[in-house]
Amino acid sequence: MHQRLTVGIIFGGRSSEHEVSIVSAASVIKALNPDKYRIVPIGIAKSGRWYVGEQALTWLKQGQEEPESAVALPADPTMQKLVPLGSRSNEWFEKLDVLFPLIHGPLGEDGTLQGLLELTDLPYVGAGVLGSALSMDKIMQKQVCNQLGLPAVDFLWIRDIDWRSNSDSDDQPLLLDQLANMNQEQMLQVCQDRLGYPLFVKPANLGSSIGISKARNRQELRASLEEAFLYDKKVIIEQAVQNVRELEVSILGNDKPRASVIGEIVPSNEFYDYNAKYIDGTSTLIIPAELEDGLVQSIQLAAIKAFLAVGAEGMARVDFLLDNRLGRFFLSEVNTIPGFTSISMYPKLWQASGLSYSQLLDELIRLALERQTQKNRLQKSYCPKSRWYTENG
């Protein structure tokens, strides 16, 4: 009998997607095969404290904390295990084999957590530092994908410091597509003139549709910007797609990723907001989406190109907007830690593609181990011809 792998499931975190992460983790923990894996729940409270064990899931759900039970994951690659910070014994903290981050949003999906995991030298599921950071920032993500000719809607973006300064200067902005050195009325006017209404306003570094608004006029645009700036210091303003259908593709793999069937979301609200995603339960998922074969292949190929363009690995969900009247599709965004709840599209699309939930988790863990094996082949030191460094400094 093969020895079970010890898998740490990291969830919670210090972002507004904390609650979604908890539900994702609970679903994954339930679906992992206990004959193959020893499961170690690792919860990060909103305070930033780390907790381990089954009680961690309960504590985070209830908003509780037990400081004497806190743990930490040292960056020291010779340890590769959790250590206690309180008064508890560490006898049962065994070495971890692989980590499965399920923290959505900032400080979990944006490369910060991945940086820590790189220092531990532990295998982990999903994108690395660059792929995570680039995908999390919707502005940078779109700029990279645009360079490869991937179709995207027109957009502008604003920094909080420029919106709040309300300046009126003749100086030219230092960054392209940045509405700087303008007062607020000028910014609103440029958005109106260049993009038209309706518009979608989003925090640049957030998911789960938090902070997103649809603006149909100048007054709503101003209110939408104020709302988005509650969650991020950069905001993206996108042109709305008319006659829209919302499509999603799940991507799986490292160097040679593959695409699932395409799914369509028919939101219960005007667009797929937080309530429509998680709360009211009345949005409709159509799997597979009813599309012509040629269009399906084009969207799947674009999804794989976007996955590779941002440097994603392991998994991602790639979202598209389809103008149903014109038959044109646009890349919406790449999500490197997609939802894993019981109603989430990522696992559902793979189920429809012939991969069960538990098989999908097995494959994601295999991909994490595969990537670590590739990393371990790389040289980590260099021996110069002379020991010059011992004679200087």
Give phi and psi for 62, each to the nearest 5: -90, 0
The residue among 239, 259, 278 that closes a domain is 239
Q: Tell whether pTM > 0.85.
A: yes
**Statement to judge: residues 341 and 268 lie in one domain:** yes
Domain interval for residue 163: 154-239
Of 12-26, 72-86, 154-168, 313-327, which one has max mean pLDDT? 313-327
Both 28 and 113 in a single domain?
yes
Q: Do 215 and 249 have their domain in common?
A: no
Confidence class of residue 206 from pLDDT cuts 50, 70 and 90?
confident
* Number of compact structural domains in the chain: 3
Of 79, 103, 124, which residue is a domain's last?
Answer: 124
For the chain, first and last CA: distance in Å? 54
Residue 208 lies in a domain: yes
The whole-number pLDDT of residue 274 equals 47
Residue 282 binned pLDDT confidence (cut-offs 50, 70, 90) = low
Q: How confident is the model at residue 16 (pLDDT cuts 50, 70, 90)?
A: confident
Q: Do 218 and 289 have their domain in common?
A: no
> Would you say residue 51 has pLDDT above 90?
yes
What per-residue confidence (pLDDT) applies to 185?
A: 92
- 182 belongs to a structural domain: yes
Cα–Cα distance for residue pair 283/23, rounded to 1 Å? 18
In a domain, 286, yes or no: yes
Task: Inform me whether the pLDDT recorded for 167 exceeds 80.
Answer: no
14 occurs within a structural domain: yes
Q: Could you tell me if residue 129 is inside a domain?
A: no
For residues 205 and 212, give the distance between their C-alpha atoms in angstroms, rounded to a whole number. 11
Helix 138-147 vs helix 293-309: crossing angle, to nearest 10: 110
Would residue 358 count as lying in a domain?
yes
Judge whether 383 lies within some domain.
Answer: no
363 and 262 both lie in a single domain: yes
Are residues 248 and 355 both part of a single domain?
yes
- Per residue in 314-341, pLDDT (tens digit) is 999 999 999 998 889 999 999 999 999 8
In this structure, the chain runs to a length of 393
What is the DSSP pairing of strand 244-253 with strand 314-323?
antiparallel
Q: Are residues 31 and 92 in the same domain?
A: yes
Q: Is residue 132 part of a domain?
A: no
Q: Where are the alpha helices (DSSP H) in the chain?
A: 18-31, 54-62, 112-120, 129-136, 138-147, 160-165, 184-195, 218-228, 274, 293-309, 345-352, 357-376
